[in-house]
Amino acid sequence: QTVVTQEPSFSVSPGGTVTLTCGLSSGSVSTSYYPSWYQQTPGQAPRTLIYTTNTPSSGVPDRFSGSILGNKAALTITGAQADDESDYYCVLYVGSGIWVFGGGTKLTVL
Amino acid sequence: EVQLVESGGGLVKPGGSLRLSCAASGFTFSSYSMNWVRQAPGKGLEWVSSITGSSTYKYYADSVKGRFTISRDNAKNSLYLQMNSLRAEDTAVYYCARQGPFDYWGQGTLVTVSS
């Protein structure tokens, strides 16, 4: 069974830069997994930030970027703002029509 | 503007059934695969099921295989999820999402399985 790993929590100062990662319990993440990132605040539907590694969704500020760093997918927020405080989820395509989400990272901006 | 609107959620007893719907607008519905993703209270996102544009292929998470059935009606721009043999652990907000990776999401509909 594929497990997608994310940091449970992270903290960043306003104006700072933070990189959240998305890995596999076994193996390396590559572009072939179409890693994608979503932001969610309590009570709201997820909002797509980045899809297929590094393509920003429409209307997403350019302070959000996606990449592959080492053996993981990464979401970098440059110049964090207070309203970036949210839960962030990644998802990977693991083949045979199956998608697996990570457990999410709770980002605190303080 | 792409819009996805889910409906059909509610309270159901364990072992019961429910059918969710997702009405799509603002894009050529038949050209896109569609998905259901759920989120249990206080938990993370879980992919549930996908269906290709022409309904040729359907995929399910192991947790729902054999109990849930995904379908679509391209003439009505609608996606469905038939949920049978419901369990307490199926309690969640169910979102429909376009394509995979999921670029647009609905607002979700809450399913509560409880006696």
Q: What is the pLDDT of residue A94?
A: 94
State which residue of chain A sits closest to B39, comparing Cα positions: A45
Residue ranges of chain A with per-residue pLDDT less than 50: none
User: Could you give phi then psi for residue A38, rounded to 5 degrees?
Assistant: -135, 145
Tell me the torsion sign for CA atoms A6, A10, A14, A15. negative
Helix (H/G/I), strand (E/B), else coil: A66: strand
The identity of residue A95, as a single letter, is G
Q: Do residues B39 and B93 make contact, with C-beta atoms less than 8 angstroms apart?
A: yes
Residue B23 pLDDT exceeds 80: yes
The bridge status of strand A17-24 relative to strand B3-7 is unpaired
Helix (H/G/I), strand (E/B), else coil: B47: strand
Chain B residues touching A101 at Cβ < 8 A = 37, 44-47
CB contact under 8 A, B95 and A45: yes
Distance CA B18, CA B84 (A): 7
Rounded to the nearest angstrom, the minimum Cα separation between B26 and chain A is: 15
- The answer to whether residue A51 neighbours chain B at the CB level (below 8 Å) is yes
Distance CA A100, CA B45 (A): 9
Which residue, B11, B16, B6, B39, is CA-closest to B112? B11
Q: What is the mean pLDDT of chain B?
A: 97
Residue B100 pLDDT exceeds 80: no
Distance CA A48, CA A38 (A): 5
Q: What is the pLDDT of residue A105?
A: 98
Report residue A68 as tokens: 């592959």
Report residue B13 as tokens: 């007893």
Q: What is the pLDDT of residue B14?
A: 98
